[in-house]
Structure 1
Amino acid sequence: MIAGKPIDKWIEEYPLIKELVETKEVFWINRNSQDQTKDNVAVGIEEIKEAETRLHRFSPFIKASFPETESSNGLIESPLVDIELMKNRLEDTYDCRIKGNLLLKCDNELPIAGSIKARGGIYEVLKHAEKLAIENKKLSITDDYSKMSSKEFKEFFSDYSIAVGSTGNLGLSIGIISAELGFNVTVHMSHDAKEWKKELLREKGVKVVEHASDFSKAVEKGREECLKSDTCYFIDDENSKDLFIGYAVAAFRLKKQLDRMKIHVDENHPLVVYLPCGVGGGPGGVAYGLKKVFGENVHCFFAEPTHSPSMLLGLMTDKHDQISVQDFGIDNRTAADGLAVGRPSRFVGQIVKKLISGVYTVDDDELFKMLALLVDCENIQLEPSALAGMYGPVQLSKTDDVSLVKLNNSLASGTQLVWATGGSLVPEKIMVEDYKKGKTLLHSL
């Protein structure tokens, strides 16, 4: 029994589940999609603006602590680039026609953590650090926050701990920034986490606890351990409003980048965004922010591995975290470690269930193929999970669902945007191996 019903009843009610169980690629259209950000009170526009202001207050600290941010004056942000050559290669490889411009939001180049987790993860740690410092009268919001890189502050924060459960990238972002501030930080890693990510964290002085189970169990164990200490702060990837808000800030910055590129977004020039999805915090926060900025003129699709379609299951059935992919016999094993999540965030699912346009799944082999294609034609290196979004334009071009006819017709004058969620910290040896695997798969076509 799964949430009170046998699996055959679930399949009868939601026929797409049969294809999910067989780990086939699917494209699910959200029939309940509508623009409800104006009515959604879970996260207010002022909270997102406050987060942006807080990040600016911290920019002197970021600049002082991480030299790679000097050129951006301590701002943690990524480029937005046109990938016309990749668009052509996708069309040739997958025998499709991709309409409109194709852009890449290069969160793989985000400083400090090299992934989208540098947004939400780093933001929540900074907010917590600011709160502690202000409460202990060591900081005022009018101060120059570069003072927080001093020995005095490191000693102060060493009396406190931070913990998180992660498949990899969130642990990297939180571990790196927390250790730099001086916190004692523990990252509980699921079995899916790449070995190099564990090693990098240990090099930064982070305690890594490995678990034989998946993401949800790593989060559960981290939460349990943190509750034992009054000075430990747990960052809950399954249920964190601050993480969500940190990601949402990206939408306002993207608007400025599009404006600089003279790319308009309106009814006749729609914006379609493809976001790789694990537990849901990153893509959920970004999608929510985008809806706040562009309303009905932006269409967001989440991308999941065929072996880890947790958000799709949760949204489609409206059961969210009450069911998991393992309940249906899906193994949750994927090379896309950041997306290896068997149970989605209920907090995020409830917020975005009427905001996103759909969810599609992608086979691991396709991730490696697109990884190799992107290196060959654009010289951009991403980790496998970050390529999940790249499959979106291909999937959309091949979808003949009547509800998407209007969108497809208007895309000739619109923009499609792939969110690249990570890759710059991948060791060269592993990147070469992934590239070779992709080339081998392409040659077999």
Structure 2
Amino acid sequence: MTNTASIELPGHQLSVQLSDIISARELLDGVIVDTPMEHSRALGRMLGATVHLKAENLQRAGSFKVRGAYVRMARLTDEEKSRGVVAASAGNHAQGVALAAKKLGVEATIFMPRGVALPKLAATRDHGAEVILHGSNVDEALAEAQQFSDDSGAVFIHPFNHTHVVAGQGTIGLEILEQQPDVDTVVMGIGGGGLLAGAAVALKQQAAMQGRTIKLIGVQAENAAAYPPSLAADALVPLKGVRTIADGIAVGRPGEIPFEIIKELVDDVVTVSEDAIAKALIFLMERSKLIVEPAGAVGVAALMEGKLAELGINPRSVVAVLSGGNIDPMLMLRVIQHGLAAADRFLTVKLMLKDRPGELAIISKIIADTDANVIGVDHSRIGGELSMGNVSIVINMETKGSEHSALVLNSLRAEGYEPLVMN
């Protein structure tokens, strides 16, 4: 290893250092798994670079969260452990805390919003935590958890705003460099910032010791992007409303500790649309055979949307972190439909037809001749827009992309129909 005495390490005065992350990894030995690094040839062809996916969706409890939760709780005193821990989450942090508590023999109470997905609720309880449903969103559950901590003395385990949590999350950076030593660009999602901050310390400081640099790009959903305005203002700027399918990173205010590290070490933060996230999730299922939650797919969405090129980055070796795989099946169904529509592979049209025998058969033949696949038909004779003798038909079909969708629409129009696209 290069002698570091004459090297100015990036972020050398920050609250979390490389030594803290190395120490955290020792604590995690035997607790977590070193998740695989999957080569994505399809993404590589898009970027003209080598692209690997750090499959943290295959981590214990389904996400990176167990790393930070375990390190935070393992460093509690015996007296603190005897008081138990409390946390609030709609999913990944809850499961991480519950698993860590089970490993450490600590009593855990988790507050979750009443509308939490049943698979996440069941998984948290299966790890042995007491789950209390409270409020309609995570903020309300968080307030109740903090009140519980004040009243009971249980130690509150914050999902990202603690140095031990950041150090634990940063262990993923050590694995990335060991598994892909030539990496020059790393892309990952940001919610509160714990994962990105910890990974930034590990990656940037190790790269400096090797005499090279690594670009680190954070990604947020554009409807839950508190970091860009906060970085621009050099102050924490809370969002008034956060609405995104990427619930794992739906955080309205950066954490103070992660923010100080990210503004010092991270090269840039970009945002991606809901459509881009949905398309990335489908891409990962189809091309990499990986089930990833929307928050875990934002890094891939950024690559597919050409965000690196927009930043003027021309990488040779890229790693995108798939931070979690805990997706509710009902949300998965909606995201798949949305993603297919966004990619022009799911077409919904509405047509007004004469209410007479054979009309639907004619429409079906036109669509069949274009090689589109009808997967649903809704037929109605009642409605304010319908005149006597007419019927409304809504047809859902699978297509092969935008050109194929245009072919279907043009074929219908050529036969005198007026399809209204409803995607």
1:318 corresponds to 2:234: yes
**Secondary structure of the residue that 2:253 maps to in structure 1?**
coil
Aligned-partner Cα distance in 2 for 1:397–1:430: 26
For 1:186, the equivalent position in structure 2 comes to 109
Q: Is the 8 A contact 2:296 2:322 kept in 1?
A: yes
Aligned amino acid, residue 161 of structure 2: N
CA offsets 1:289-342 (integer angstroms, 9 cap, x no match) = 11111136111111111111012222221111xx3110xxxx201111111111
DSSP 3-state at the match of 1:39: coil
Contact 1:116 1:421 in 2 (8 A): yes
Give 1:370 deviation, angstroms: 1.4
Contact kept in structure 2, 1:369 and 1:438, CA below 8 Å: yes
Cα distance in structure 2, aligned partners of 1:192 and 1:104: 31
Q: 1:116 to 1:437 in 2, by over 3 A?
A: same
| In 1, Cα distance between equivalents of 2:304 and 2:28 | 36
1:333 match: secondary structure: coil
Q: Cα offset for 1:201?
A: 1.6
* Alignment counterpart, residue 215 of structure 2, candidates 277, 294, 299: 299
Residue number in structure 2 paired with 1:37:
10
Paired residues in the alignment total 336
Give the distance between the partners of 1:53 and 1:183, measured in 2 at CA: 20
Counterparts of residues 262-411 of structure 1 (less than 5 Å): 264-265=182-183, 271-295=184-208, 297-320=213-236, 323-326=237-240, 331-396=241-306, 399-400=309-310, 404=312, 407-408=313-314, 411=315
Q: 1:373 to 1:114 in 2, by over 3 A?
A: same
State the secondary structure of the residue aligned to 1:292: helix
Tell me which amino acid in the other structure corresponds to 2:239.
Answer: V
Quick one: distance in 1 between partners of 2:39 and 2:206?
21
Mapped pair 1:440 → 2:397:
no
Specify the alignment match of 1:248 in structure 2. Answer: 170
> SS state of the match for residue 104, structure 1?
strand
Q: Is structure 2 residue 88 aligned with structure 1 residue 165?
A: yes
In structure 2, the residue matched to 1:28 is none
Secondary structure, in 3 states, of the residue corresponding to 2:151? coil
Q: What is the distance in 1 between the residues matched to 2:339 and 2:285?
A: 10
In the TM superposition, residue 428 of structure 1 has moved relative to its aligned partner by: 5.3
Shift of 1:208: 2.6
Question: How far apart are 1:247 and its partner, in Å?
Answer: 1.1
Deviation at 1:397, TM superposition (A): 5.2
Amino acid in the other structure paired with 1:47: D
Distance 2:329 2:74 in 1: 30
- The alpha carbon displacement at 1:43 in A equals 1.6
Residue range with higher mean Cα deviation, 344-353 or 250-259: 250-259
Residue 85, structure 1, aligned to residue 58, structure 2: no
Q: Quick one: distance in 1 between partners of 2:88 and 2:249?
A: 14
Matches within 5 A, 1:66-81: 75-81=32-38
- Could you state the TM-score of these two structures normalised by the residue count of structure 1? 0.69
In the alignment, which residue of structure 2 is the partner of 1:116?
64
TM-score of the aligned structures, taking structure 2 as reference length: 0.72
Aligned equivalents of 2:274 and 2:14: distance in 1?
A: 37
What code does the residue aligned with 1:336 have?
A
- Shift of residue 199 of structure 1? 2.9
Shift of the alpha carbon at 1:245?
0.5
2:384 aligned residue? none
Q: Residue in 2 aligned with 1:237? A: 159
Displacement of 1:441 in angstroms is 2.9
**Structure 1 alignment gaps of length 5 or more:** 1-34, 63-74, 92-97, 137-156, 266-270
RMSD over aligned CA atoms reads 2.6
Q: Deviations over 1:104-143 (max 9, x none)?
A: 00000112x1111122122222333xx42xx79xxxxxxx
Compared with structure 1, are the counterparts of its residues 188 and 312 closer, same or farther at alpha carbon in structure 2 (3 Å cutoff)? farther
Deviation of 1:80 after TM superposition, in Å, equals 0.8
Q: How far apart, in 1, do the equivalents of 2:138 and 2:199 lie?
A: 21
Question: Which 5+ residue runs of structure 2 have no aligned equivalent?
Answer: 1-7, 347-401, 403-423
Q: Could you tell me which residue of structure 1 aligns to residue 56 of structure 2?
A: 107
The code of the aligned residue for 1:188 comes to F
Counterparts in 2 of 1:277 and 1:184: CA distance versus 1, 3 Å = same
Are residues 286 and 193 of structure 1, via their aligned partners in 2, closer, same or farther at CA, if it must alter by over 3 Å? farther
Amino acid at match of 1:43: V
- Counterpart of 1:50, as a letter, is S
Distance 1:391 1:341 in 2: 19
SS in 2 for 1:302: strand
Match of 2:392 in 1: none
Shift of 1:41: 3.6
1:40 shift after superposition: 2.3
Structure 2 CA distance for partners of 1:288 and 1:217, relative to 1, 3 Å: farther
Q: In structure 2, do the counterparts of structure 1 residues 284 and 217 end up closer, same or farther at CA, with 3 Å as the change threshold? A: farther
Quote the residue 1:144 is aligned against. Answer: none
Give, as a single letter, the amino acid of the residue that structure 1 aligns with 2:100. I
Q: Identical aligned pairs, as a percentage? A: 22
How far apart in 2 are the matches of 1:216 and 1:380? 30
State the distance in 2 between where 1:307 and 1:226 align.
31
CA distance in structure 2 between the partners assigned to 1:273 and 1:285 by the alignment: 13
CA deviation after TM superposition for structure 1 residue 399, in Å: 4.3
Choose 1 or 2 for highest CA Rg. 2
Provide the rounded CA distance (Å) in 1 between the counterparts of 2:96 and 2:278. 24
1:216 Cα deviation (Å)? 4.4
**1:220-256 deviation digits (Å, cap 9, x = unpaired):** 43222112223x1111235211100001122222221
Decide whether aligned partners of structure 1 residues 346 and 427 sit closer, same or farther in structure 2, where only a CA change above 3 A counts. Answer: closer
